[in-house]
Amino acid sequence: MKILIPIKRVNDYNVKVRPNQANTDVDLSNVKMAVNPFCEIALEEAIRLKEGGNATEIIAVSVGDEKNQEQLRTALALGADRAILVKTDKALQPLDVSKVLVKVYEKESPNLVIMGKVGIDGDHNQTGQMFSALTNLPQITFASKVELNGNDVEVTREIDGGLETLSSSLPAVITTDLRLNEPRYASLPNIMKAKRKPLEELTVEELGVEVKPTVTTLKVESPPEREEGVKVENVDVLVEKLKNEAKVI
């Protein structure tokens, strides 16, 4: 069984990203970049399926510029068998990415595609659902548990009301939530080994996808700052302030 893992390059989640001087975009010039945390979780799940004897090959794919190689090497170090970089220098939107991923899907015919539920950069939460729609594969989003039984997969999802379990035949698309697993770290020997694993490069043009941004960013600002409040000495003062000053209780 083959598993395809789309990987997004984003800021390290510990870094607080700020607008640039001109307020036209975010300033990523000195920001440490990483694999989107939800994609790490997707990859970890695939590795566990492979370790459990349920998968034979894990392919990591990323769409973007040359720098995405770094994140694909990380994926290879963690346990992907090979990687595909589909190159473009254009700004990408989830709809474009999903169209590119459809082409990769058609080339590779994986049995399972596991993606992050959301990129922590744009907070879109779209690509997996769009990809599933365009491939007509069953869609299971926000997974916190994945169980493979032969050609079926049973997935528990985190929804606003609690948990829901769905079942699907393969191939299918799953998007990951945070509690699905805790990703491992890459070991040094594996980082070295990853340098020799295959990383294929294609272009979006070769795959016949036209990238055309239809939603553009006009302005990026910091949110309004909250005024720093006061420290209260004790519970009595707190209760008094909430009653008489804030008037919220």
Partner 1 sequence: MTKILVLAEHDNNSLSGATLSVTKAAEMLGDEIDLICTTSNISNLEAEISTLTSVKKVHVFEDKIFENEIAENTVDCLIAVSDDYDYFLASSSTSGKNIMPRFAGLMDIQQISEVIEVVDGSTFKKPIYAGACIATVKTEQSRNVLTIRTTSFDKTSTDGGSAEFVKHDLPANNTNKPTFVKNELTVSDRPELTSADIVVSGGRGMQNSDNFKLLEGIATKLNAAIGASRAAVDSGFAPNDYQVGQTGKSVAPNLYVAVGISGAIQHLAGMKDSKTIVAINKDEEAPIFKVADYGLVADLFEALPELESKL
Ligand X SMILES: Cc1cc2nc3c(=O)[nH]c(=O)nc-3n(C[C@H](O)[C@H](O)[C@H](O)COP(=O)(O)OP(=O)(O)OC[C@H]3O[C@@H](n4cnc5c(N)ncnc54)[C@H](O)[C@@H]3O)c2cc1C
Ligand Y SMILES: Nc1ncnc2c1ncn2[C@@H]1O[C@H](COP(=O)(O)O)[C@@H](O)[C@H]1O
Residues lying near ligand Y in the complex (CB under 6 A) are found at 6-8, 36, 38-39, 62-64, 92, 94, 97, 115-116, 118-119, 122, 124-128
Q: In the bound complex, what is the minimum distance in angstroms from residue 80's beta carbon to ligand Y?
A: 13
- What is the distance between the alpha carbons of residues 180 and 158, in angstroms, rounded to a whole number? 10
Q: Which helix (H) or strand (E) holds 39?
A: helix 37-51
Chosen residue from 54, 69, 111, 126 binding partner 1 by CB under 8 A: 126
Count the residues of the shown chain that bind partner 1, applying the rule CB under 8 A.
79
Q: Does residue number 93 form part of the binding site for partner 1 (CB under 8 A)?
A: yes
Which residues in 94-123 contact partner 1 (CB under 8 A)? Answer: 94-95, 98, 117-118, 120-123
Query: In angstroms, rounded to a whole number, what is the distance separating the alpha carbons of residues 125 and 110?
Result: 22
Enumerate the β-bridge partners of residue 137.
Answer: none
Q: How many residues bind ligand X (CB under 6 A)?
A: 4
- x/- mask, ligand X, residues 17-56, rule CB under 6 A, reads --------------------x-------------------
Our CB check for partner 1 shows the closer of 192 and 238 to be: 238
Going from the C-alpha of 222 to that of each of 22, 30, 70, the distances in angstroms are 12, 18, 29
Q: What CA–CA distance (Å, rounded) separates 82 from 100?
A: 18
Residue 112 near residue 126, CB atoms below 8 Å: no
Interface with partner 1 in residues 199-218 (CB under 8 A) = 214-218
Please report whether residue 66 would count as binding ligand X according to CB under 6 A.
no
**Rounded to an integer, what distance in angstroms lies between the CA atom of residue 8 and that of residue 37?**
9
For strands 139-149 and 152-159, give the pairing. Answer: antiparallel
Q: CA-CA distance, 126 to 149, in Å (whole number)?
A: 28
Q: Are 142 and 177 in contact (CB under 8 A)?
A: yes
Task: From the list ligand X, partner 1, ligand Y, none, pick the one residue 26 interacts with, judged by a Cβ distance below 5 to 8 Å according to partner type.
Answer: partner 1
CB of 20 to ligand Y, least distance (A): 21
Residue 44 in the binding site for partner 1 (CB under 8 A): no
Binding site for ligand X (CB under 6 A): 13, 37, 120, 178
